């Protein structure tokens, strides 16, 4: 049973007149009659009672009418959905975010996609480390990822998003909490709360390099994976920390964010799989860029 036959059947069922149904379909009446007869042969039952003056649905024809309307409606839905997929207006897109981008970029992306691309299903994953995100892109677990620059991998396209200043995070009762701008060297001798060492975090080496350039090495390090936990530990008095300025959107009691006298910065980038990025992923990538520029 072809969709064309279903359309012909439904037109005749609604018009109950071969001439009017043929005119509605923009086909010759003999062609319509031939398609109906073929459909009846395929189904093994008459669908219409015919006379010289009257056309009427049989019981089987009445039963088929509901199926026919459903088939045509589903076919139209499929056609529209395929067009939306081809243009990126629909689909499923998985996006991963490093911890700092989880607090300001992720919520804006979620709101904007819901408003502008309601037929795209977003899978959002926050509080991840850069190596996890790169691995996820390469394995296909993520379509897009927002992370720190400095990690290059074949098969990933990178788009610069923004450059952020580093700020100090101090317990609110700390003697230097009111010192702005704060020379980084003033934190010599303080324990540091920091992201993990080695390949697990792009921030660990960046922070220690900034400390070395300021003339000191922290006497002790407390390593944590999540940025929110890092700020909580500072509030609890376990040490001080350096974070990108966007972390200031994570407002917790007991901490103070203090600008540095030095212009220490880190870059945020958008990664996507190349050349396998879908149309929907490209649409969401444009939203991510738009949200970061705001």
Per-residue pLDDT tens listing for the chain (294 residues):
888 898 999 999 999 989 899 999 999 999 999 999 999 999 999 999 988 778 999 999 999 998 998 888 888 777 766 776 676 677 889 999 998 888 889 999 999 999 999 989 899 999 888 888 988 998 888 999 999 887 667 788 999 999 999 999 999 999 999 988 999 999 999 999 998 886 657 788 899 999 999 999 999 999 998 889 999 999 999 999 999 998 998 888 999 999 999 999 999 999 998 777 788 898 999 999 999 987
Q: Is residue 79 domain-shared with residue 108, that is, in the same domain? A: no
Q: Is residue 157 domain-shared with residue 280, that is, in the same domain? A: yes
Residue 155: what pLDDT?
81
Residue 83 token pair:
């067009």
Residue 26: what pLDDT?
93
- Residue located via tokens 């056609």: 79
Q: Is residue 77 domain-shared with residue 33, that is, in the same domain? A: yes
Residue 152: what pLDDT?
61
Q: Is residue 94 domain-shared with residue 12, that is, in the same domain? A: no
User: Number of structural domains, the chain?
Assistant: 3
CA distance 251 to 9: 65
Helix axes 29-43, 3-15, angle to 10 degrees: 110
Residue 94: what pLDDT?
93
CATH number of the domain at 16, please.
Answer: 1.10.10.10
Residue 119: what pLDDT?
86
Residue 198: what pLDDT?
65
Residue 238 belongs to domain spanning? 163-267
Dihedral, 183, 188, 191, 196 alpha carbons, nearest 10: 70
CATH number of the domain at 173, please.
Answer: 3.40.190.10
- Which of 50, 67, 86 is the last residue in one of the domains? 86
């Amino acid at each position: 049973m072809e969709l064309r036959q279903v359309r012909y059947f439904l037109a005749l069922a609604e018009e109950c007149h071969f001439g009017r149904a043929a005119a509605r379909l923009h086909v010759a009446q003999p062609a319509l009659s031939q398609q109906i007869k073929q459909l009846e042969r395929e189904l093994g039952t008459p669908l219409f009672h015919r006379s010289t003056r009257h056309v009427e649905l049989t019981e089987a024809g009445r039963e088929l009418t509901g199926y026919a309307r459903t088939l045509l409606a589903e076919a139209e839905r499929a056609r529209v959905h395929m067009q939306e997929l081809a243009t990126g207006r629909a689909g499923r897109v998985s996006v991963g975010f490093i911890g700092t981008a989880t607090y300001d970029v992720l919520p804006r992306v979620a709101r904007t996609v819901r408003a502008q691309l309601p037929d795209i299903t977003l899978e959002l994953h926050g509080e991840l480390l850069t190596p996890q995100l790169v691995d996820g892109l390469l394995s296909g677990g993520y379509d897009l990822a927002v992370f720190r620059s400095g990690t290059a991998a074949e098969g990933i396209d990178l788009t610069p998003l923004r450059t952020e200043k580093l700020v100090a995070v101090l317990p609110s009762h700390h003697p230097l909490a009111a010192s702005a701008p704060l020379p980084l060297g003033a934190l010599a001798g303080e324990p540091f709360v920091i992201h993990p060492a080695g390949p697990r975090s792009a921030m660990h080496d960046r922070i220690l390099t900034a400390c070395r350039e300021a003339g000191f090495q922290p006497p002790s390090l407390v390593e944590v994976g999540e940025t929110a936990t890092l700020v909580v530990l500072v509030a609890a008095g376990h040490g001080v920390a350096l974070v990108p300025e966007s972390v200031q959107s994570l407002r917790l009691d007991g901490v103070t964010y203090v600008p540095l006298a030095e212009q220490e910065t880190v870059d945020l980038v958008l990664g996507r799989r190349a050349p396998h990025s879908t149309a929907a992923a490209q649409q969401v990538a444009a939203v991510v860029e738009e949200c970061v520029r705001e």
